Amino acid sequence: MKTYLSLSSPAEVETECLVVVALDRTEKDRTEKDRSDDRNGKNRGDRDKPEASIEASDSAIREAARDIVGSGEVTGKIFETTLLHHPAKLKAKRLLLVGGGRAKNFSAFELRKMAGTAVRTLKPKGVRSFAFVAPSNGLSAEERVRAIVEGAFVGDFDPDTYKSDRKDQRIDSVTVVATGDQGRLQKALEEARIIGESQNFTRELVNEPSNRMTPTMLAEHAKKMAQEVGLKCEVFGADKIKEMKMGAFWSVAQGSDEPPALIVLRYEPAGAPEKPVLGLVGKGVTFDTGGISIKPADGMEKMKYDMAGGATMIGVMRAIALLKPKIKVTAIVCATENMPSGKAQKPGDVQIAMSGKSIEIINTDAEGRLVLADGLYYARQLGCTHLVDAATLTGACGVALGYVNAGVFANDDQMYERFNKALGKAGEKMWRLPLDEEYKESIRSNIADIVNSGGRWGGAITAAMFLKEFAEDTPWIHLDIAGTAWMEDNKAWIAKGPSGIAVRALVEFAKDFAA
């Protein structure tokens, strides 16, 4: 999808469709006279009457929408869409009003979803290009441009890759109509395009079925991407994994006929300081049966998405290589299948991780933390001074936080604060969970140093406590994206399927480190 910037008057923009945000101002701040009238019984009938506001300074747009807004059909309710053909006094062929919800709550988070909603409304109607008028509601001009472009890319992705009758419904181009400094707005637009493309690249990887995205194939995708954007890429196989004594990683891989792949991507820009070095570690389990502790059949087909953490890190590295922040970044993806076979590890086995720690295997379905254990330690061996891992690690995190927030764990408050700041810029929702020392009791083993499963209670936390053993004192953040890496239903702004969660936040995090 191509992206363009226009500083023209919205009414003068020639486009297949002009998109404008409508907000609900029913809950607007009320004057003291309003409050006095309310106390005296006046205005009672009008107080809760919907009051839609067209967020465009161009009077021609407001005039074109006046009748339908006046009729009460447009309320500004979030995700509400109203399409007008041949709007009077506009050069656009259509005018689409997209509801953004209550004005007092409107932010870049909602604006991204409005852009996605516009894309998903127009695609089935055969519209191939449109222009989106940036609203002036409480955001900087650059924030508005970024949110619109990123949201449009999110909305443009569809998972129906292998349908024989797949319809061509892609959006060819989106134009952002805005006001402000052209140079700064153009830069914001280009950065947002790179991030949006990288998020969708991650989603494409996650969407592939496991027979078309084996560990070897994932490594090939990473190598191809690295060549295109100028990253260094190394891929190591089973012999090297065993030679480096990655016993935790190998214990998962040993049960599969598909060879594992240790993928290492390096971004080392000229002029970057020696430190910090950001290490990104991703779980790349391309299919997870649970191993000997096999999962129920119901829903197992979705376990192709268990490499979403690894795909996230590959997508982040693509964006970083193109955005060129002045910071060294190394990404490590431990890719394997988790299969039951005569070679597979068994509950009760003891494995020795690369760090030398011994691990008693309680549940072979708690495999993600095993591959990450060696990935985190290896990142430290490569000189990474700050670590972030991402993984579809525990169903327990989804139970705790549902499908709205990903889980965040951190052993360093200052690093967490920087990441939380990046979350705000990226418009992604995550919630910090505790790492109190008392939880460590749940992962103590009688025969080894630690167990790989602390049981049912606090499962997301005990999994994070396991990983903390391998991060040790290195500042570290763990993202449990199990509940958010896959959209369970079609939404107005995003398709059912992979979400690409954490790509935007991690790119912002890396940029902040560079700054």
Contact 498, 484 (CB under 8 A): no
Is the model's pLDDT at 278 over the cut of 80? yes
Is the model's pLDDT at 46 over the cut of 90? no
In angstroms, the CA 43 to CA 46 distance is: 5
Extract the tokens encoding 229. 């954007």
129 pairs with which residues across the strands? 173
Question: Residue 313: its pLDDT value, please?
Answer: 98
Contact 355, 433 (CB under 8 A): no
CB atoms within 10 A of CB 88: 12
Under CATH, what is the fold of the domain 2-180? Answer: Leucine Aminopeptidase, subunit E; domain 1 (3.40.220)
Extract the tokens encoding 330. 């190394």
Contact 415, 477 (CB under 8 A): yes
Q: What is the DSSP letter of 304?
A: G
Contact 44, 122 (CB under 8 A): no
Question: Residue 168: its pLDDT value, please?
Answer: 77
User: Is 295 a catalytic site residue?
Assistant: yes
For the stretch 279-334, pLDDT in tens is 999 999 999 999 999 999 999 999 999 999 999 999 999 999 999 999 999 999 99
Under CATH, what is the fold of the domain 200-514? Answer: Aminopeptidase (3.40.630)
Number of H helices, E strands in the chain: 14, 20
Cβ-based burial of 51 (10 A; exposed 0-12, middle 13-18, buried ≥19): middle
Catalytic residue among 369, 380, 504, 511: 369
For the stretch 47-85, pLDDT in tens is 555 688 999 888 999 999 999 999 999 999 999 999 999
For the stretch 326-385, pLDDT in tens is 999 999 999 999 999 999 999 999 999 999 999 999 999 999 999 999 999 999 999 999
Residue 269, helix vs strand vs coil: coil
Question: Residue with structure tokens 């139970």?
Answer: 399
Render 1-23 in DSSP notation, one character per residue: -EEEEE-S-GGG---S-EEEEEE
337 pairs with which residues across the strands? 287
- The closest of 512, 469, 506 to 310, measured between CA atoms, is 506
Render 469-500 in DSSP notation, one character per residue: HHHTTS-EEEEE-TTTSEESS--SSS-SEE--
For the stretch 395-431, pLDDT in tens is 999 999 999 999 999 999 999 999 999 999 999 999 9
User: Is 224 a catalytic site residue?
Assistant: no
Question: Residue 167: its pLDDT value, please?
Answer: 79
Question: Residue with structure tokens 């591959």?
Answer: 371
Domain residue ranges in the chain: 2-180, 200-514
Question: Residue with structure tokens 């060129």?
Answer: 324
Catalytic residue among 25, 62, 93, 295: 295
Q: Do domains 2-180 and 200-514 have the same CATH topology?
A: no
Cis peptide before 276 (omega within 30 of 0): yes
